[in-house]
Structure 1
Amino acid sequence: MSRVQSVSRTAQIAASDPNRVIIFDTTLRDGEQAPGFSMSTDAKLAMATVLRDLGVDVIEAGFAAASPGDEDAIRRVAGEIEGPVFCSLSRANEKDIDASHRALSTAPASHQRCHIFLATSPLHRSAKLRMSTNQVLEAISRTVEYASSMFADVEFSAEDAFRTEPEFLVEALIAAADAGARTLNVPDTVGYAMPEEVTKRFAYLNEQIRPRHPDVIFSTHCHNDLGLAVANSLAAVEGGARQIEGAINGIGERAGNASIEEAIMALRTRADRFGVSTGADARQLVRASRTLCEVTESVIARNKAIVGMNAFAHESGIHQHGMMADSRTYEIIRPQDVGFDGTSFVLGKHSGRHAVAKRAEVLGHTLEGETLAAVFSGFKRRADEIGEINDTELTAIINAAAPTETRQERAYAAAG
């Protein structure tokens, strides 16, 4: 069976820079199949537009064989959005691959990817697949070869890779590479692995497989069951992975996937450690997060890293004082770099005199000496009662604490 000869977009990226990490976004597939995150076709188009602007390299637009609606949504997204590679998930059978081929036919050939998965762990082989190791290897070879006759870009995922015997995992991935897969995904399907294990596993796979297939791209797809999805994705990069799979806001099955926004900013902020880059325009991260919240009618925690409301907000007086002196004291990322307007100082019971005086000055009140002491005392009492102090509340506190003659002078001035 002959293979498609055109060069895929991701292969071009990998060939141009071995230290470029490909960002594979599965918000529209793995993210959407989580309870509460189902998306209409229009919602998928809105998200795909933002993901394109964010600069993700691959958008997994859905699972074509799952339903006629999913196939149609992939067809529209791939046909109406230009730029990224579009991907459809397929089980290891010809029918699924045919559905992916139909759905992706609207995108240029170099921007189509078929993503085939098959479980490889002993538990999945016996309990779910009821297949021997030889049968698993045969299925991988047959279906990847079939997909390679239609797609220039084929990815193979060894489901439950981290509970698979390392030696058999090598056999499975070599079978996929021999049949034409150029991206080999090693997913932590149930969020079981620890970061050190992930680094060692990827280093081992690189050592065993690259001599035979030097052009393959190793990929990581981590779930967050133990809260380690992003940490494990970064550990995979240290082990040689050059594709990270994840979702905006970390949505996905069970506890979710690796948060793409966190992975992107970790690689960027700690470039000194990782020595890699991405093609992402991080200024679009907040927009992507908010768009997802809108189309799925969901919310994220205020303290969500990178994109949460509190990610660049400061209430503590010690922190506010430090920020006024130099923002680098408490912020390792500029808020503008991810799409926020700037730092937010929240006035509350933990705020100090400097922050209260600074905000009062913005509102047109210069507070010093006994007046500042009185305002600050009133501010603390009110903050204990209601929590956050907005500008209206602060103005009322200032007016109440000001000397009588000052209030009279203001009243006369206001009366003209």
Structure 2
Amino acid sequence: MNSADLGRRVGVPSTALFTDQYELTMVQAALKAGTAERHSVFEAFTRRLPEGRRYGVVAGIGRVLDAVENFHFDDEMLTFLREQDVVDGPTLDWLADYRFSGDIWGYPEGEVYFPGSPILRVEGSFAECVLLETVILSILNHDSAIAAAASRMSAAAGGRGLIEMGARRTHELSAVASARAAYIGGFDTTSDLAAGFRYNIPTVGTSAHAFTLLHDTERDAFRAQVDSLGRGTTLLVDTYDVAEAVRTAVEVAGTELGAVRIDSGDLLLVAHRVRQQLDELGATGTKIVVTSDLDEYAIASLAAAPVDAYGVGTQLVTGSGQPTCSMVYKLVARAGSADPAEPLRAVAKKSLSSKSSVGGRKWAARRLDESGVAEAEVIGTGPVPAELAERQLLVELVRGGEVIAREPLDAARERHMAARAGLPMSAMQLSRGEPVIPTEYI
């Protein structure tokens, strides 16, 4: 497997300050109390799915591995912490030598998850694990929310093309992460070149209304684009009159015109009219791409339209109304010393029922019915039942501080398609509902 298969991990800065201050002050207090090195197990999970979601999508694991690998404090960071009096001298000395040396297990990227699923299990000393909380949650909450929205849009699209076009609607770094998550969730291409460069996601692009307005006539604009990019290009046809633009587009590019893009109006009606017009002009192979604030509901409403691809921006990169998955990172077990061989004691917050959690280091497996369709997410802390041994979900990601499970992004994408296909049919419904399968603790 070459580096191009995995994407370009270039210019990755230290992630050590992508954290909250209290994590460092907890480390200081634990070092002073002599408890910092106690062997501990943390788990990332969500107590509930976002409203209306029937399943979640694990995304961001690859980015988490990069973040853990690059989590170290350089001299400039340590100077900042010292000048701001964030932690004391002994803690700064400890941070200067920090490298995560523990183990991480988790759901593989692209897998689906449900309430309580132990999506990520981080094991090591208390101090080295607690420092990773914020950066892990930041990545998983964002990327999994985008991937879940992308998956719903992919299901609604029914095999038609999906273009991620949200770079102008979010932070520039979030745009790259969003394109990556969207690709896992079922999108085919992105307009964002940084995402294409870093993650080898196929990139596409057409033109904006500004390009048409730049020229004296629409015909001049189309001619310039076709002369430069070829007949297979996509022409934007709704700057002025759509019917006139389609006629001009075919006159300029011929019947080999690749596609036309519609970005406004009643997309269902306009798409039907454009398809009829293209066919009458002999451009039967010319595709229709629609954009304009689409979400999964709009895509589903266009199922009967002669549309070949959808371009989605704002709704995708904001999680289609659910920009986070509300994942948490909790200590679930710890020993009385640094010895990994010492028995672990299950721990959990119990003060509020809405925020309570289940203690203990967990395994997870998905039980299938007689037809091979998922029927329950089974989670336990004891021995794994023999009938579930081959259905376990967590895989080893980091061993002794070394990343051992990087994979091509296409593997995560393919895994998601397979995982989604293994859910009950009701998972594809866009109406509000409960998780498509229950979570069972044993």
* TM-score, normalised via structure 1 length: 0.31
Task: State the structure with more CA Rg.
Answer: 1
Greater share of strand residues, 1 or 2? 2
Higher RCO (Cα < 8 Å, 6 or more apart): 2
* TM-score, normalised via structure 2 length: 0.30
